[in-house]
Structure 1
């Protein structure tokens, strides 16, 4: 029996910002860890290129917690390589 980690990740998509609807639709299609990483990268890149402060804040509120759940590390942490 294979454990599906994605089923253990619960993301809260508020109804306030329009971007959440698109993000929630994309998240419903995520079934694997690889797809979760693709979701993260897609929306993180969208956040980095957006000029809309409401959209940036909405995306950040989803992708930063997702990053922490996937990696066990806060996005804001300073990682020395």
Structure 2
């Protein structure tokens, strides 16, 4: 793709994770992090799903902690309003 945005990354991670390619989903996730893109809940659902398929408990716990730190579950409209 010429331009990669968070929607493209999240869709690819979700697609890999839900179609039996959890390693590829996690590889994309780590590549996304190297690009310093802000996570969204859709990417993280794919990451957690991939971790579950692989039985990667420690990686899943790390991803959960990342979600807590990043606070991406906040509604962007709430952040703008405050």
TM-score in same-fold range (> 0.5)? no
TM-score interval for Structure 1 and Structure 2 normalised by the shorter chain:
0.3 to 0.5
TM-score by length of 2: 0.40
TM-score by length of 1: 0.41
Give the number of the structure whose residues are more often helix, by fraction.
2
